[in-house]
Amino acid sequence: MSVIIAREKLLREIERSKLRKVIADTEYFASMDPLEALAIHLHDHMCKRDHNGWCNWNYEVKDHNVHDWGRETHKKWLNSCKPLHDNLLAQNISVDNYLQILLLTPIN
């Protein structure tokens, strides 16, 4: 197998892997409250702080996916996302659809 073919095969596998993650994340977010899903997604992609230190997000999550929305950091992100959430609903844009677009958008 040439190097070029091997590289193309690897790139296709990476794209398939990314797509599988997008599908898994879409199903994960669809199973929860839309505002909470929005807060989790936006925190994951926008928070630049250490989630175990400065931001404390990870200390407020039990068993990797049970979020305590009554704790300070989660409450802050939930409140920050509320205007966006309400604006989406006012424009008849479902949070699920909005999250799917965000999941497919590369963020560095």
Answer whether 68's CB lies under 8 Å from 61's CB. yes
**Helix, strand or coil for residue 105?**
coil
Count CB atoms within 10 A of the CB of residue 37: 22
Which residues lie below 8 Å from residue 45, measured CB to CB, with a gap of 6+?
102, 107
**Choice from 22, 26, 28, 55 touching Zn ion (CB under 5 A):** 55
Stretch that binds Zn ion, among 11-19, 30-38, 55-63, 92-100 (CB under 5 A): 55-63
Which region, judged by CB under 5 A, interacts with Zn ion, from 13-21, 33-41, 50-58, 59-67? 50-58
Cβ-based nearer residue to Zn ion, 25 or 60? 60
Site for Zn ion, rule CB under 5 A:
47, 49, 51, 55, 57
